């Protein structure tokens, strides 16, 4: 078990170790040191044939770079500056993209052919928490091996040496426009001019980019929670709030006579929808809708969908009716991405899209340019599928996908000792004995928060949307 890295980078409460400026400074140095060594090892064989003069010329001109962005938390600037200082000390040029959705950093890292990307964000978590996660040059999260090597340096008492070629801090605000244009261009034949959409931006990273993107595509946008103060991210707003209190969004959709609503989380890698009748369209529904859309157009990778063990049985039943294969992974988007790339080796057709995700609304559409979940991009795909379906309402479009009764709950457990796998399995067996009608039981500790999560699902039929 790692000391610092969880399923989604390093997370914690700001001001409590490890989320302190001195630790984040060392994290910047350690990650820069490991990333630099990785790059140098990869290029060693490529440069062996060069003469000593050519080698020297290359070493003098080649620079390493990393793109950094953050969400709107008040602690973001402090942590970003500490991380930046460590990376500059390790010889990396740092491209500061400012406040931008997490998937924007992953995409920009690939576009600019930077050596890595980093995001300061705690996603849907409360404002007092924050986190740091890294992307490799391919836009995917760092491997377990890389995280382990970084942790070794973090745990070492040895001082990480300063690189004599210090990095430069570069302005990356121009990347916002590149990211917006990429979202629009992917759906260049789709016009939203006949739609009115309520958009909850969670007072987070989507606050400017989401309304701007949908507005440019012709939609009439009612932007909610799009005025971040540094303290109000995810406060009674965003995708997790809407999942719990969907009726609030439903009332607003009715008030504004909108066609449907969208809700993003703090860093905009998640999205959930609310249809015109006030029904929640979560990640399970989105996976079903996009699976049908992509499969009908022969664009679905290996005629399959990847989801986690927290998926609803209704989704499984629906995909089986479509003749599609369902793969399940442990909870965590990185496991979904790994499985999608594994499947990709079996289907080399051009233009196919790997589809996976989680009930939370973290939907992953993998192609040659994208390797992580993107809430805005996922929403655009759903809207495009809806418009091409010729259904008159979003409620009608989602109606064919049903769900079995399911309860998901969380309890705060702090950082005390945790039950091991055997104890959790015994608890699961006892629960099944007491409630034989349960068809799915999931008991686990969160990889991003000090929470214990429970999912129970019964066989009392399917609730049609």
pLDDT digits (tens, 9 = 90+) for 161-175: 999 999 999 999 999
**DSSP letter for each residue of 297-330:** TT-BGGGEEEEETT--HHHHHHHHHTT-EEEEE-
Which pLDDT tens digit goes with each residue over 278-299?
999 999 999 999 999 999 999 9
Q: Of residues 121, 123, 207, 378, which has the active-site annotation?
A: 123
What totals of helices (H) and strands (E) does the chain contain, helices first? 15, 20
Q: Which CATH class is domain 178-398?
A: alpha beta
Q: In the chain, where are the structural domains located?
A: 10-173, 178-398, 404-464
Which pLDDT tens digit goes with each residue over 417-427?
788 888 888 88
Which pLDDT tens digit goes with each residue over 301-314?
999 999 998 899 89
Which pLDDT tens digit goes with each residue over 382-402?
999 999 998 999 999 998 888
Select the highest-mean-pLDDT range: 125-139, 407-421, 441-455.
125-139
302 φ/ψ sector (left φ>0, alpha ψ -120 to 50, else beta): left
What is the average per-residue pLDDT within 340-362?
Answer: 95
Q: Are 172 and 179 in contact (CB under 8 A)?
A: no
Whole-number pLDDT of residue 457: 75
Whole-number pLDDT of residue 414: 78
Query: At residue 409, does pLDDT exceed 90?
Result: no
CA distance 25 to 464: 51
Whether 51 is catalytic is no
Count the neighbouring beta carbons within 10 Å of the beta carbon of residue 61: 7
Angle at 183 between CA 180 and CA 188, to 5 degrees: 115
Whole-number pLDDT of residue 53: 40
CA distance 86 to 66: 12
Query: At residue 353, does pLDDT exceed 90?
Result: yes
- Average confidence score pLDDT of the chain: 91
Q: Do domains 10-173 and 178-398 have the same CATH topology?
A: yes
Tokens 């369209």 locate to 281
Percent of the chain with pLDDT over 90: 75
Whole-number pLDDT of residue 309: 87
Pick the closest to residue 449 from 412, 409, 419 (CA basis). Answer: 412
What dotted CATH number matches 10-173? Answer: 3.40.120.10
Which residues make beta-bridge pairs with 356? 306, 364
CA distances from 56 to 24, 65, 146 (A): 33, 20, 28
Any idea which of 1-10, 119-128, 331-340, 397-406 has the lowest mean pLDDT? 397-406
Residue 461 — pLDDT band, cuts 50, 70, 90?
A: low
CA distance 442 to 7: 17
> Reduced to 3 states, what is the DSSP secondary structure of residue 55?
helix
What is the average per-residue pLDDT within 446-460?
Answer: 76
Pairwise pLDDT comparison (234 vs 418), residue with the higher score: 234
Pick the closest to residue 8 from 182, 164, 125 (CA basis). Answer: 125
Is residue 13 within a helix (H) or strand (E), and if so which, with residue range?
strand 10-13
98 φ/ψ sector (left φ>0, alpha ψ -120 to 50, else beta): left
Which pLDDT tens digit goes with each residue over 26-62?
999 999 999 999 888 876 655 454 444 444 334 444 7
Structure tokens belonging to residue 45: 């064989």
Which pLDDT tens digit goes with each residue over 434-446?
888 777 777 878 7
CA distance 303 to 347: 9
What is the average per-residue pLDDT within 461-465?
Answer: 52
CA distance 301 to 291: 10
Q: How many residues does the chain have?
A: 465
Which pLDDT tens digit goes with each residue over 91-108?
999 999 999 999 999 999
CA distance 114 to 330: 30
Tokens 């629906």 locate to 318
Query: At residue 257, does pLDDT exceed 50?
Result: yes
Whole-number pLDDT of residue 20: 98
> Structure pTM?
0.89
Whole-number pLDDT of residue 460: 65
């Amino acid at each position: 078990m790692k000391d610092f890295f969880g399923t989604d980078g390093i997370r914690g409460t700001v001001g409590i170790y490890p989320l302190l400026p001195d630790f984040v400074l060392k994290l910047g140095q350690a990650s820069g040191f490991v990333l630099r060594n990785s790059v140098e090892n990869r290029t060693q064989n490529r440069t062996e044939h060069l003469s000593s003069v050519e080698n020297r010329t290359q070493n003098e001109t080649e620079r390493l770079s990393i793109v950094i962005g953050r969400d709107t938390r008040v602690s973001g600037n402090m942590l970003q500056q500490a991380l930046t200082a460590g990376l500059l000390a390790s010889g990396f040029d740092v491209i500061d993209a400012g406040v931008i959705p997490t998937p924007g950093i992953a995409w920009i890292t690939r576009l600019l052919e930077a050596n890595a990307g980093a995001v300061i964000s705690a996603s849907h978590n409360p404002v007092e928490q924050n986190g740091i996660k890294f992307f490799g040059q391919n836009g995917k999260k760092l491997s377990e091996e890389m995280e382990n090597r970084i942790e070794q340096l973090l745990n070492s008492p040895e001082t990480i040496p300063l690189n004599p070629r210090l990095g430069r801090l570069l302005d990356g605000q121009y990347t916002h426009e590149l990211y917006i244009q990429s979202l629009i261009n992917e759906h260049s034949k789709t016009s939203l001019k006949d739609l009115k959409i309520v958009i909850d931006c969670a007072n987070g990273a989507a606050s400017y980019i989401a309304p701007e993107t949908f507005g440019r595509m012709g939609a009439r946008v009612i932007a909610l929670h799009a005025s971040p103060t540094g303290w109000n991210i995810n406060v009674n707003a965003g995708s997790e709030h809407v999942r719990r209190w969907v009726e609030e969004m439903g009332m607003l959709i009715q008030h504004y006579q909108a066609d449907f609503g969208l809700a993003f989380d703090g860093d905009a890698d998640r999205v959930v929808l609310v249809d015109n009748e006030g029904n929640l369209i979560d990640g399970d529904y989105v996976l079903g809708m996009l699976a049908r859309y992509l499969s009908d157009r022969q664009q679905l990778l290996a005629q399959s969908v990847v989801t986690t063990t927290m998926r609803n049985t209704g989704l499984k039943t629906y995909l089986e009716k479509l003749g599609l294969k369902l793969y399940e992974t442990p909870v965590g988007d990185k496991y979904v991405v790994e499985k999608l790339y594994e499947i990709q080796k079996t289907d080399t057709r051009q233009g196919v899209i790997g589809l996976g995700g989680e009930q939370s609304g973290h939907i992953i559409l993998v192609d040659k340019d994208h390797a992580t979940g993107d809430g805005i991009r996922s929403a655009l795909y759903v809207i495009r599928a809806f418009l091409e379906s010729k259904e008159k309402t979003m409620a009608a479009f989602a109606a064919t996908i049903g769900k079995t009764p399911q309860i998901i709950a969380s309890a705060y457990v702090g950082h005390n000792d945790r039950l091991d796998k055997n104890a959790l399995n015994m608890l699961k067996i006892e629960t099944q004995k007491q409630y034989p009608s349960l068809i799915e039981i999931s008991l686990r500790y969160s990889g991003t928060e000090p929470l214990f999560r429970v999912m129970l699902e019964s066989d009392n039929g399917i609730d049609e949307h």
